[in-house]
Amino acid sequence: MPLKQFLWGMLTMGNLVAALLLLRFWRVSRDRLFLFFAAAFATLALNWLGLSVIDPALELRHFAYWLRFCAFLLLIAGIVDKNRRRRTG
């Protein structure tokens, strides 16, 4: 169990680093795609953090995966937003 929590902690850290880098790119370019992706990676970091804290025997553990679902929706929304702005602008 401690190795699994360590790996989930590394995934949390990696997603937070990606989110911070994407926020930096957004600050330079002001492209909303970077903002959507930063929010998605921050949400994924919360997902991994939540999984590392929840007891594995807990039956309600599947609710933590809703954060992952929301992150993927943010990724899709960012891509759709980028494509729609390119056509109209």
Distance from C-alpha of 63 to C-alpha of 10, rounded to nearest angstrom? 21
Q: What is the pTM of this model?
A: 0.86
Cβ–Cβ < 8 Å for 44, 74? no
* Distance set, CA 60 to CA 29, 42, 64 (Å): 41, 22, 8
Average pLDDT value for the chain: 89
Q: What range does the domain containing 56 cover?
A: 2-88
Which pLDDT belongs to residue 2? 82
Which pLDDT belongs to residue 64? 75
Number of domains in the chain: 1
Which pLDDT belongs to residue 35? 97
pLDDT tens for the 89 residues of the chain, in order: 688 888 989 999 999 999 999 999 999 999 999 999 999 999 999 988 888 887 766 666 677 788 899 999 999 999 999 999 877 65
